[in-house]
Structure 1
Amino acid sequence: MADPALDPVAGNTSSLGRRYFIRFEEDTLRQRPLWIRLIIEFLGTFVLVTVAAGSGVINHYVGNEPISRTAAVIAPGAVVMAMIYAWGPLSGLHINPAVTFAFAARGVFPTKWIVPYWVVQLAGAICAALFLEVMFGDVSTGGNYPINTPGGEWKSMVMELVLTAILVSVILNTATGGRSIGHNAAIAVGSTVALLGLFASPISGASMNPARTLGPDIVGNDYTGWWLYIVGPLVGAAIAVAIIGAVRGLPDKDELEAAEGGALPMTGTPTREKATE
Structure 2
Amino acid sequence: MGEISNGNHVVLDVKDDQSSSSKRPTNCKEDSSLSISVPFIQKLLAELLGTYFLIFAGCSSVAVNLNFDKVVTLPGISIVWGLAVMVLVYSVGHISGAHFNPAVTLAFATCKRFPWKQVPPYILCQVCGSTLAAGTIRLIFQGEQDKFTGTMPAGSDMQSFVVEFIITFYLMFIISGVATDNRAIGELAGLAIGSTVLLNVMFAGPISGASMNPARSLGPAIVSLKFKGLWVYLVSPTLGAQAGAWVYNMVRYTDKPLREITSSASFLKSRQSS
**Which TM bucket (shorter chain)?**
0.7 to 0.9
Structure 1 residue 179, shift from structure 2 partner: 10
2:215 alignment counterpart: 211
Q: Deviations over 1:224-258 (max 9, x none)?
A: 11000011101101111220222224445685xxx
The residue aligned with 2:151 is: 144
Whether the aligned pair in 2 keeps the contact of 1:169 and 1:240 (CA below 8 Å) is yes
Answering whether residue 40 of structure 2 is matched by residue 34 of structure 1, we say yes
What TM-score, normalized by structure 1, do the two folds share?
0.75
Q: What stretches of structure 1 move > 3 A for 4+ residues in a row?
A: 29-32, 177-183, 249-255
What RMSD in Å do the two structures reach over aligned CA positions?
2.4
Q: Which string of whole-angstrom CA distances, capped at 9 and with x for unpartnered residues, describes residues 112-156 of structure 1? A: 000000000000000000100111136552111101x3xx11100
Give the structure, 1 or 2, with the largest relative contact order (CA under 8 Å, sep 6 or more).
1
Query: What residue number does 2:19 align with?
Result: none
Whole-angstrom distance in 1 between the partners of 2:107 and 2:223:
27
**Unpaired stretches in structure 2, ≥5 consecutive residues:** 1-22, 25-36, 254-268
1:96 is matched with which residue? 101
Identity %: 38
- Work out whether residues 163 and 208 of structure 1, in 8 Å CA contact, stay in contact via their aligned partners in 2: yes
For structure 1, the residue ranges without an aligned partner over 5 or more in a row are: 1-28, 256-277
In structure 1, C-alpha distance between the alignment counterparts of 2:208 and 2:172, rounded to whole Å: 17
Distance in 2 between residues matched to 1:217 and 1:165, nearest whole Å: 23
Contact (CA 8 Å) 1:38, 1:116: kept in 2 or not? yes
Q: Give the aligned residue type for 1:36.
A: Q
Residue in structure 2 matching 1:236, options 233, 236, 240: 240
- Aligned residue for 1:52, secondary structure, equals helix
Q: Could you tell me how far 1:220 is from its partner in structure 2? A: 0.7
- Total equivalences in the alignment: 224
Letter in 1 for 2:173: S
DSSP-derived class of the 2:223 partner: helix
Deviation at 1:55, TM superposition (A): 1.5
Aligned counterparts, 1:1-277, within 5 A: 33-61=39-67, 63-137=68-142, 140-147=147-154, 149=155, 152-178=156-182, 183-249=187-253, 250-252=269-271
